[in-house]
Amino acid sequence: MGFSEKELKRDYPNLYREISSDSGSGHSFKVDRGRGYDPSIIDFLQRCSTDAEGLEVIDFMEKRGEISKAYAASLRKRIAESGIRSFGEKRESGYYFKKFG
């Protein structure tokens, strides 16, 4: 849903004044950087300790329809050839609190 500048000015004059003025009010707020973050299959694989755990995660995500059969096959091949750490270093408990906290 979008608004033209004319519609915004007509329907929401106070909001229009706020966003079009050059001087800010000086108010600041903290943005929750982790809000809405949706981990990918790679994020889940980085939490695994062993290749077997990684394969289990891939099987689970494939059964749920979260990843395609072709992508699952390529991930399995990568684990077989390079191991689970080929997806990145292990993410320990509390990783996301440290990253987004």
Residue 22's pLDDT band (cuts 50, 70, 90): low
Question: How many residues are there in the chain?
Answer: 101
- For 53-72, how does the pLDDT look when each residue is reduced to its tens digit (9 = 90+)? 999 999 999 999 999 999 99
Contacts with 44 (C-beta within 8 Å, 6 or more apart), sequence order: 57, 61
Answer for the pair 67, 76: CB distance below 8 angstroms, yes or no: no
Q: How many domains does the chain have?
A: 1
Residue 99 lies in a domain: yes
Query: Residue 71: its pLDDT value, please?
Result: 96
Residue 52's pLDDT band (cuts 50, 70, 90): very high
Residue 3 lies in a domain: no
CB atoms inside a 10 Å sphere around CB 6: 9
Residue 98 lies in a domain: yes
Residue 67 lies in a domain: yes
Residue 80 lies in a domain: yes
Give residue 62's domain range.
Answer: 37-101
pTM for this entry: 0.60
Residue 22 lies in a domain: no
Residue 16 lies in a domain: no
Residue 15 lies in a domain: no
